Amino acid sequence: MEDTGPPSGNGPPRPRIACVYDYFLGGKCNIDADRQAARAIAEAMPDLPDVLRANRAFVGRAVRALADAGIRQFLDLGSGLAVNGAVHEITADMGVDARVVCVDNDPVVTAYNRRRVPRRGVAVVHADLRDLDAVLSAPESALLDRTRPVAVLMTAVLHFVPHADDPAAVVARYRDALAPGSCIVLSHAEDNRRLPGTYQAARLYSKDIAPIHLRTRTEIAAMLAGLDLLAPGLVPIPDWRPDAGARPSTAPSYGFAAVGRTDRQR
């Protein structure tokens, strides 16, 4: 039977990153604790639901662009719940036979995903993305043929990695571990003094859900070192190859997105 209810763990209910995100995306995989936290944050930052929908839409555009370019393997780090436009859903909609590994460090999220994803072509790993060896040596990661290019998604997740853990070094380790022609898909929340609502939202987020670390465009760009950025480069999230006919966004983006490719000749 398909599992459509919200994920649940042991212990008192508490808001989870993935389920708060699901609430903002209009999903059903959330409980009262998620909704209450989400509403409080959205009060401080009314643009937040649009920002998160724009991020999810970027994931869709990036995966479609890479699948169109021939990529058939995806490593989704900080996948969140594999619903509402998850990578395997995007490739299935395209009729592309892809292999997808979803990695998350929230045990409730990975348990939920394990019950829900199709058995063929999708695997779920419970690991912290900072631990490259744990991710790549997990038995489920054997689904990926690492002699061939892999698209590594790190979308809306590196802002949960503290500065002390050097997220640029984390990205570099994946860049260097994968076959030439592999890609990194990245989106990240912005530290921008012109958007003061972000700081209040980030404070609430850190207090009620998980510590969040905003970064400047320069800091985000540093995470893409050594990659050839696909056009249009590192841009506000809605501006990464917007769909034909999409209205140009006038609202601030609150974050940046890019897709970079490792050198084919390495």
Ligand X SMILES: C[S@@+](CC[C@H](N)C(=O)[O-])C[C@H]1O[C@@H](n2cnc3c(N)ncnc32)[C@H](O)[C@@H]1O
Residues that bind ligand X (CB under 6 A): 17-18, 21, 55-56, 59, 77-80, 103-106, 109, 128-130, 155-157, 160-161
Query: Whose Cβ is closer to ligand X: residue 113's or residue 266's?
Result: 113
Nearer to ligand X, 76 or 191 (CB): 76
SS3 38: helix
Q: How far is the CB of 216 from ligand X (least distance, A)?
A: 20
Cβ at position 233, least distance to ligand X in Å? 19
Helices of type H across 5-47: 17-24, 32-44
Q: Smallest distance from the beta carbon of 250 to ligand X, in angstroms?
A: 23
Question: Residue type at 172?
Answer: A
Supply the minimum distance, in Å, between the C-beta of residue 15 and ligand X.
11
Q: Rank residues 17 and 101 by Cβ distance to ligand X and give the closer one.
A: 17
66 membership: H or E segment, kind and range: helix 48-68
Q: How far is the CB of 92 from ligand X (least distance, A)?
A: 17
Q: How far is the CB of 202 from ligand X (least distance, A)?
A: 13
Residue tagged 């989400």 (tokens): 38
Question: Measured between alpha carbons, how far is residue 213 from residues 2, 127, 188 in Å?
Answer: 36, 20, 10
* Of residues 157 and 172, the one with the C-beta less far from ligand X: 157
* CA atoms of 46 and 40, how far apart (whole Å): 10
Cα distance between the two ends of the chain: 46
User: Smaller CB distance to ligand X: residue 57 or 96?
Assistant: 57
Angle between helices 32-44 and 17-24 (to 10 degrees): 70
Q: Would you say 47 or 128 has its CB closer to ligand X?
A: 128
CB of residue 263 to ligand X, shortest distance in Å: 25
250 Cβ contact list (under 8 Å, min separation 6) = none
Query: Closest distance between ligand X and the C-beta of residue 158, in Å?
Result: 8
Please give the Cα distance from 211 to 169 (Å, whole number): 20
DSSP 130-193: T-HHHHHHSGGGGGS-TTS--EEEEES-GGGS-GGG-HHHHHHHHHHHS-TT-EEEEEEEB--T
Return the number of the residue (155 or 182) whose C-beta is nearest ligand X.
155
* CB nearer ligand X, residue 136 or residue 161: 161
77 φ, ψ (degrees, to nearest 5): -90, 125
